[in-house]
Amino acid sequence: MLSGSKSTVSRVMNDTPNVDPQIVTRVRDAAARLGYRPSGTAQNLSRGRTGIVGVLVPDLANPLFATILKGISAEAETDGYRTLVADANEQPGEELRHLHELARQSDGLILCGPRMSTPDLAGLTELDVPIVIVNRKPAGSLFPSVTVDSREAVAELCRHLDAFGHTRLCYLSGPAHAAADAERWSALTSSIRSRTKLFRVPAGAMLDDGHAAAEAALATGATCLIGFNDLVALGAVARLQELGITVPDQISVAGFDDIVYARFTSPGLTTVAMPQTEFGQEAWRLLSPYLHARKTRRTRTLSAHLIIRGSTGPRQNSGARPGPAA
């Protein structure tokens, strides 16, 4: 009988140095033969860590979040971590519930563009789990966060539009509790020239929202529509085209994020690009050290940049109006 103790097996399975090579192979063989695989759960309990990071997103169907998630996964994977995903379906009320559950299964949490209230966010400290926030600066910087500074890029967008003669802009606003919505709106209001009128029409975060809001936006007489994000902008473009209105000839459209579709529609969408993959990478890099030791809480600010494509052009003199339906 080849005795062999649990510890030895454990050492072999964990590639601990100082194990007799003979034993190593013997154990490996036996394991392979018996189809033995260490129980992750038992390892987790014993080690006091799960190797899992919980990620909360408002909506996985939004390519922005899918991309951020990919960034997190890729980076976390290099440290042997996996991602447990919770999709709140754009329902702020669901977020807390998800987080409480995620927290019990993971070593740390990454919140992508959380829609929950600031007090709720602050209350998360009680979870007593390392948390990193992406795309929203937590009040009082309670948590490390990776945010983006889009002021300069927005200012650039405004100059771009101004140069094209646009003096009536309409912002298709995002979900009520999206921090990015407030920031974008504020960046716009502080960037436009005094001669420029800025309207605001409620939309949402998805294609349908932009599609649905397009007509209301048109009614403001704006010559350029700016979507809360690219999905909203693209939804609006679709609606405009249905109405027989040509972009950018009759009306210009711009968005935020630079999701991959912005590049592949025609006309291409002018947009304030977010560093999507970096969001994910940086989020992990902030979280990772935090998992091992309570390190200093930091914040990382990335910067957005303007990408000009075909959806913005010179303002039409006569203002946009529906043409013959497509």
292 interacts with, out of a copy of itself, DNA, none, CB within 5 to 8 A per kind: none
Tell whether residue 69 is a contact of a copy of itself (CB under 8 A).
yes
101 interacts with, out of a copy of itself, DNA, none, CB within 5 to 8 A per kind: a copy of itself
Site string for a copy of itself, 221-250 (x = CB under 8 A): -------------xx-xx--xx--------
Tell whether residue 47 is a contact of DNA (CB under 7 A).
yes
127 secondary structure, DSSP code: G
Q: Are strands 197-202 and 252-257 parallel, antiparallel or unpaired?
A: unpaired
Full DSSP string of 54-104: EEEES-TTSHHHHHHHHHHHHHHHTTT-EEEEEE-TT-HHHHHHHHHHHHH
The smaller minimum CB distance to DNA, of residues 9 and 142, is found at 9
Q: Are 242 and 35 in contact (CB under 8 A)?
A: no
Give the C-alpha separation, 269 to 155, whole Å: 17
14 interacts with, out of a copy of itself, DNA, none, CB within 5 to 8 A per kind: DNA
Interacting residue with a copy of itself among 13, 19, 66, 155 (CB under 8 A): 66
35 interacts with, out of a copy of itself, DNA, none, CB within 5 to 8 A per kind: a copy of itself
The smaller minimum CB distance to a copy of itself, of residues 216 and 238, is found at 238
Interacting residue with a copy of itself among 7, 22, 119, 126 (CB under 8 A): 126
> How many residues of this chain bind DNA (CB under 7 A)?
27
Least gap, CB of 41 to a copy of itself (angstroms): 5
- What 3-state DSSP class applies to 182? helix
Q: Are 132 and 109 in contact (CB under 8 A)?
A: yes
Give the C-alpha separation, 122 to 198, whole Å: 33
Least gap, CB of 74 to DNA (angstroms): 25
Interacting residue with DNA among 25, 45, 219, 321 (CB under 7 A): 45
Site string for a copy of itself, 180-219 (x = CB under 8 A): ---------------------------x---x--------
Residue type, 287: L
* CA-angle at 184, arms to 59 and 164, nearest 5°: 120
Give the C-alpha separation, 201 to 235, whole Å: 14
Tell whether residue 14 is a contact of a copy of itself (CB under 8 A).
no
* Sign of the dihedral through C-alpha 40, 46, 50, 51: negative
Tell whether residue 264 is a contact of a copy of itself (CB under 8 A).
yes
By CB under 7 A, the residues from 164 to 193 that bind DNA are none
Give the C-alpha separation, 2 to 209, whole Å: 68
> Which helix (DSSP H) or strand (DSSP E) does residue 158 occupy?
helix 151-163
Least gap, CB of 304 to a copy of itself (angstroms): 20
